[in-house]
Structures are given as C-alpha cells and as structure tokens.
C-alpha cells in the first residue's frame, strides 16, 4: 500500500520521537520503516518487553487517557512481541479489554460492542540493538452513530512520553485519518486485523 506524503512525515515524526535515527529509515516507494530492525528471537523479545513494560506504561499513563493506564491488566492476545510493518516496523503487543472478549473469535460480519477497547503498545530495537519505547495505538468502540466516518471506532495514538499524537474524536483528528483508511479493508471483521497466526496465543 502506498501512503501519502503527510502520512510519511507523520511516521517520520513518530520514529524521531521514539529516538530512531532517520538514517535507518527506508523512504523507497513511500514506505517509511526501520530498515533493519535487529532480528532477535521470540524469547529475547519477551524478556526485553518484560523489562521495558513498566517504563512504557509509565510514559503512556501521563496522557491521562484511561486505556493508557490500565491496558496491561487486560488479556494479551499475542505469544511474543511481533514485528508490525504497518505500525512503523516496531515490535507490538495486542491487548483487549473484557468487553472485547470476542476479539479473538469474531465471526464474519459480527461487531464488538460499544466499550470494547483494543490497545497495541510498541517498541523499537535498532540495528545497534538499542531499545526504545514506541507509541501506544488504541481503538475504542463508540456508541452507534458516534463517529460515522470511522464506523464508530475511535482511534487514538499516544507517544512514549504520554503526549497525545492524535485522537480521531479530538485533537489531531486529521492525523488519525490514515488509521481507518487502512483498517477499512477489514470491514467484514469489524475493521480488525487480529494477531498474525504465528503469534496467536492460545
Ligand atoms: C497500513 C495499514 C495500517 C495502518 C495505517 C494502521 N493499522 Fe492498525 N493494524 C493493521 C494491521 C495489519 C494490524 C494487525 C497486525 C499487526 O499488528 O501488525 C493492526 C492492528 C491494530 C490494532 C489491534 C486491533 C486489530 O486490528 O487487530 C490496533 C489497536 C490498531 N491497529 C490501531 C491503529 C491506529 C490507532 C492506527 C493509526 C495511528 C493504525 N492502527 C494504523 C494495519 C494498519
């Protein structure tokens, strides 16, 4: 998928804040991602994440956004942090709250209820094996008709220092348009992609 220039600079800004050197970013074909994220194995990634998690949550929580404070108490749906090309080529984890209990088993055409929240935190491992917290990506299901352009999903992105990058229902809403533009592809699964097969936790 080709992203617009605005999206590219957005991603670049995110990576810069995350402490990633722009030299590691491949601008070819409109895609911006870290060229060669260190290829560390699943157990190492689990260990790195366990070490970093409190620090990450501490940063996100400064946003005062409710999900940012409590998401690590929710169910975790992936077995190890996995590389997400669509979220800046960072390692990510997927959590869902109790309302979103059907997240892992959603039938085609089914919808999660209002109040469902999905949170995806992220971190970067650079080619020099440095580790940095990344952004927190949140999707929150609103009441019917609350956000017709986004199929009643609210998209929020919080930076590692707790600052709000964008909220589709508030500040920086224009920066969040690209979220739904991509999630739209999954309209028959309530706009959700779910965890790649290899990383699904039983
Ligand atoms: C170019 C496509 C693309 C864009 C842009 C994108 N996503 Fe995603 N999103 C995905 C894919 C693919 C997955 C599942 C696999 C993964 O994690 O990489 C996903 C998963 C998620 C999930 C877990 C719920 C699910 O769908 O299973 C959340 C939460 C999320 N994205 C939030 C966001 C937010 C917030 C933005 C905008 C700041 C955003 N995404 C932008 C493709 C995208």
pLDDT digits (tens, 9 = 90+) for 19-63: 443 333 343 333 345 555 556 889 989 999 999 999 999 999 999
Residue keyed to tokens 């970093």: 52
Whole-number pLDDT of residue 119: 98
- Answer yes or no: is the C-beta of 1 below 6 A from any ligand 1 atom: yes
Judge if the beta carbon of residue 74 lies within 6 A of ligand 1. no
94 lines ligand 1 (CB under 6 A): yes
Cβ neighbourhood burial of 79 (10 Å; 0-12, 13-18, 19+)? middle
Give pLDDT < 70 ranges for the chain: 1-39
CB 74 within 8 A of CB 119: yes
**Residue 125 to residue 86: CA distance in whole angstroms:** 16
């Amino acid at each position: 998928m080709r992203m617009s220039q605005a999206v590219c600079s957005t991603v670049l800004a995110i990576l810069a804040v995350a402490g990633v050197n722009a030299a590691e970013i491949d601008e070819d074909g409109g895609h911006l991602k870290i060229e060669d994220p260190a290829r560390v194995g699943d157990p190492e990634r689990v260990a790195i994440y366990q070490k970093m998690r409190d620090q990450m949550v501490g940063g996100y929580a400064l946003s005062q956004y409710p999900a940012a404070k409590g998401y690590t108490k929710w169910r975790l749906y992936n077995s190890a942090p996995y590389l997400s090309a669509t979220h800046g080529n960072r390692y990510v984890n997927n959590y869902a709250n109790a309302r979103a209990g059907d997240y892992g088993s959603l039938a085609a055409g089914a919808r999660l209820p209002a109040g469902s929240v999905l949170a995806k935190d992220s971190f970067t491992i650079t080619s020099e094996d440095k580790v940095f917290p990344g952004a927190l990506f949140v999707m929150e299901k609103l009441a019917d008709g609350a956000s017709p352009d986004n199929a009643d999903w609210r998209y929020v992105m919080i930076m590692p220092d707790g600052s709000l990058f964008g909220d589709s229902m508030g500040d920086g809403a224009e920066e969040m348009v690209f979220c739904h533009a991509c999630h739209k592809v999954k309209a028959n699964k309530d706009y959700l992609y779910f965890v790649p097969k290899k990383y699904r936790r039983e």
